Structure 1
């Protein structure tokens, strides 16, 4: 995510490294590179120019704090301005009303139907809502079928009317159906076009006027860059939507849409799509995204994802097993499966400060755990619960059954033993000692 932009901003900041103070010359040189990086990322020219002018003004208008080097100060200023540019505060979604009605809009191919499903799943799992998905694309039967498939996948009801070609009527009937059946959130998926046209704008405006939704979200493909920003502007002039959803952000190495859409349209980005799975949806946090763009990671989001996946009761049971030296491969594979639920490996690595830069060029595949899982699944229940029984002949059998080599089985055994020792140490006084050492280093 935003790999190209992150690399170029990192290089731009290097200009100030080694300088004892900020001067007009070295600031101008640094910000010239920052502006070039933003333009290469497909950020709107006016936005990029205003951004660098603001940073320059702030950089030259203050003395460098004694605890900060010029390079560090510039990173802080760029981070603060990036956060402000992308919206500043995190924008919530309006779930008032009974039911809450959310209208989805956007061009065909932007990921609108898939995102409707992701949002329904998010409301169901994170907000304990009972959502209803509504198929209002009366022109493409494939869109209605797709929504039904998505609904089945996440176990959410889908409302559609065969033969009815009036999307306004379908939307109104769906809301009435929701009230009768206890659905407290209604997500209306509307028709998209390959390009903006008058008929499309009139239709979505008519639906909006008839149902008066709590939220109108504009869904746009982040990978289209400035085209995404321009399309959002045209839609907003007609529809006055409440917020933007950026899909396919996991494949966007530039980041132009995410950075400039708020300043151009003056509407917040509310959600981002970060993958194909139904749980690949995140609330957009401008400050956290600025951290990630500047290679600082996003520890808060990483911890939140971990807390969502790791069960407290299971954690307590695991701690007892570690204390009694009973941690086995069954426990290990449970941990792997929980980590996999947290999202794509590349995305998770990007949340760890410095890891993205350290692993630059390394292909982090979501299938990275497949070999490990195959080895563990080739073990007998006794071998998984008591790894110490695994001898040479057993290793040969395990390697053959998993399609791996004895060397790979040995490597996994070694890593497992090292991890077990570390976990045991953290359970004892080692954890406290480590914390004391870290506190003393501050």
Structure 2
């Protein structure tokens, strides 16, 4: 017999397929009207609901399988179940119990701000539910219900390229940064109902929370509301997240809109070259800060100084310049998200007409997925559909897409950079300073 225990408006099945009864559904007051056009709506409110604006929801959440785990908790593929058996695929994040009421309140506050965003490039937060760990304990487990992006993260995409001895296409790196900058522009300039700027900041952008829908090629940012939980950890010298993507000011526990721009610069640099610009590790904030300060005394090579140039419709030097502008140590000199997306669009992606679209990204993602490891195939053996070929031809301006993708191999670096790698320099992205090499 399947046991069910009820806690506040939640019910949880304790065997096999656990489901969680949703909280009450809200019927907005805007549907209430004296107009005869809304006779049925008025009857629903007055007769069927008895004047109540809240009714118990029949929706439930069902766990299917775990699909990932990070510093803040585990992520499950789930279903939202309706009364007539309709299943909507969702993501359920179970937040680690080390986070308390204070951190959860921050998530709730930020989730309410995210409701004001309309751009559509940020993963939607659908609900936040709580469930007692046991009847004898006051502890709760918190469940974050989010839109499911059926695809992969940029982190996994870069790992896939590395495994196949490839580097990502520059135009699609630019397209990814462009879409991310559009989302950040709206967030950074978000205003409350009084017209006051809120300066909403992501705080911990990395390749793992830039997501692609494989079929639609849509780029979205995730974990916008989650990053706020780790703010208090910085002052306590506890390092959470990925320090190699942290902006200089964040090592001083300061989060600003320009911090997100720095993170995008690091992401673009890594996707283009295969290397993060600053090699930062350490278990504490002070250790990571020390490593960054030491490396910041050296001059960083630009992607254009690392990669061997090849004939392409898209100018690698221009993308390299845009990325380096994002990596200015002085936050005030970095471009805003608005400036960044305009530069990427007008100076790089669409300067000569048609450029990458969501359809281009979807075609590229599926092509790379199907390609075997480079040593195991001949280019002429790979078959592409006419639709994929035409999409990549028109928007990437390349006659032979597969050959062009294969040309972006991990060994296409300039000699000077290769010498640094072979010499096992601690960070080959840094130029020697008067013959002195970082870490030597």
- Report if TM-score (shorter chain) is over 0.5: no
The structure that has the greater radius of gyration is 1
Q: Which has the higher contact order (CA 8 A, sep 6+)?
A: 1
Give the alignment's TM-score, normalised by structure 1.
Answer: 0.29
Q: When the two structures are superposed, what TM-score results if normalisation uses the length of structure 2?
A: 0.29
Looking at secondary structure, tell me which structure has more strand per residue.
Answer: 2
Higher normalized helix content (fraction of residues): 1
